[in-house]
């Protein structure tokens, strides 16, 4: 297995986020329908969770359904929701065996009942697992997340003795504590498959200092070596967070 700790320095990202793009193109290349691509993509997602856990990653967030994905053809949206309702209960034994805690980022209220119930059950049944946090981003949008935190902050400020002073006291740390992701580690590495070089409303707040990694591999063809390649590239990056190279050495 590849070594991600050169010179004894731990360089594994704590939190990896993946934009799983390319399901449709993969299906088309196989002469299949888009849903076949999503189905294969969901199987790959299950494998990636296991690989990430084995490699020692603590948090993995997967962009399964964005706030904008509702605009896809109705049949595809329905298919994705059915896939979720079907795959999650089937993945539960694997999650238990691998000590995976299943969590969600996004507003699941508008999901069809069967998908929502499957999500809630997986969250509840794996709540005490500690091996890896799998954070499925469902009906998730980075702008929506920030907007929800802005509303939260405004309400919070209204409840303080001095509104202006409360607003002025807001800083990035305090604001982040009001976001949906408040108890998730900052994103270290964002991977996007499928060749496009966009963030697509994923983890906008935490994209500030995340390392970005783009690969042409279509998500259903993503394999363990592809994950290792991303981690190796991450290990070679110098994260300066605005400081100079000399300061971080």
**Within 10 A of 164 (CB to CB), how many other CB atoms are there?**
9
Burial of 228 (0-12, 13-18, 19+ CB in 10 A): middle
3-state secondary structure of 75: helix
Q: Known catalytic residues? A: 21, 69
Position among 64, 132, 137, 227 found at the interface with ligand FPP (CB under 6 A): 64
Contact range with ligand FPP by CB under 6 A, out of 79-87, 143-151, 197-205, 221-229: 79-87
The Cα 100–Cα 113 span in angstroms is 24
Nearer to ligand FPP, 38 or 153 (CB): 38
3-state DSSP call for residue 134?
strand
Binders in 180-199 for ligand FPP, by CB under 6 A: 194
Question: What residues are paired with 101 via a beta bridge?
Answer: 133
Site string for ligand FPP, 23-62 (x = CB under 6 A): xxx------------x--xx--x-----------------
Report the site for ligand FPP in 201-240 (rule: CB under 6 A).
219
How many whole angstroms separate alpha carbon 53 and alpha carbon 97? 12
- Indicate the burial class of 197 (C-beta count within 10 angstroms; 0-12, 13-18, 19 or more): exposed
| Chosen residue from 16, 52, 60, 84 binding ligand FPP by CB under 6 A | 84
With contacts defined by CB under 6 A, how many residues of the chain interact with ligand FPP? 19
- Minimum CB separation from ligand FPP for residue 41, in Å? 3
Judged by CB under 6 A, which stretch of 64-72, 121-129, 173-181, 235-243 contacts ligand FPP? 64-72
Considering the complex, state which of residue 83 and residue 229 has its C-beta at the smaller distance from ligand FPP: 83
Q: Which residue of the chain is nearest ligand FPP when measured via CB? A: 24
For residues 35-52, b (16+ Cβ closer than 10 Å) or e, as one string? bbbbbbbbebbeebbbbb
Of the pair 4, 213, the CB lying nearest ligand FPP is at 213
**Nearer to ligand FPP (CB atom), residue 27 or residue 149:** 27
Task: Report H helices in the chain.
Answer: 23-29, 34-55, 74-97, 113-125, 142-158, 163-169, 172-176, 224-236, 245-248
Options 21-29, 92-100, 161-169, 224-232: segment touching ligand FPP (CB under 6 A) = 21-29
Question: Within 10 A of 32 (CB to CB), how many other CB atoms are there?
Answer: 13
Among 21, 36, 145, 206, binds ligand FPP (CB under 6 A): 21
Indicate which single residue of 16, 18, 20, 52 sits in contact with ligand FPP (rule: CB under 6 A). Answer: 20
For ligand FPP, the binding residues (CB under 6 A) are 20-25, 38, 41-42, 45, 64-65, 69, 80, 83-84, 87, 194, 219
């Amino acid at each position: 297995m590849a070594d991600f700790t050169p010179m004894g320095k731990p360089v594994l990202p704590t939190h990896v986020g993946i934009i799983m793009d390319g399901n449709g193109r993969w299906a088309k290349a196989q002469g299949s329908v888009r849903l076949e691509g999503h189905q294969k993509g969901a199987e790959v997602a299950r494998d990636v969770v296991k690989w990430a856990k084995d490699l020692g990653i603590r948090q993995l967030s997967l962009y399964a359904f964005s706030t904008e994905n509702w605009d896809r053809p109705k049949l595809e949206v329905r298919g994705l929701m059915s896939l979720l309702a079907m795959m999650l209960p089937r993945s539960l034994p694997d999650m238990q065996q691998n000590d995976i805690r299943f969590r969600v980022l996004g507003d699941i209220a508008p999901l069809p009942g069967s998908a929502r119930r499957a999500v809630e059950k997986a969250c509840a049944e794996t709540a005490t697992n500690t091996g890896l946090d799998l954070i499925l981003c469902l009906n998730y949008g980075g702008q929506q997340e920030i907007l929800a935190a802005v509303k939260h902050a405004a309400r919070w400020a209204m409840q303080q003795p001095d509104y202006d002073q409360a607003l002025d006291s807001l800083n990035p740390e305090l604001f982040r504590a009001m976001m949906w992701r408040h108890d998730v580690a900052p994103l270290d590495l964002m991977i996007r498959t499928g060749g496009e070089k966009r963030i697509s409303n994923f983890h906008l707040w935490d994209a500030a200092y995340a390392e970005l990694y783009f690969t042409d591999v279509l998500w259903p063809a993503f394999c363990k070596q592809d994950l290792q390649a991303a981690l190796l590239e991450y290990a070679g990056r110098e994260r300066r967070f605005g400081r100079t190279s000399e300061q971080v050495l």
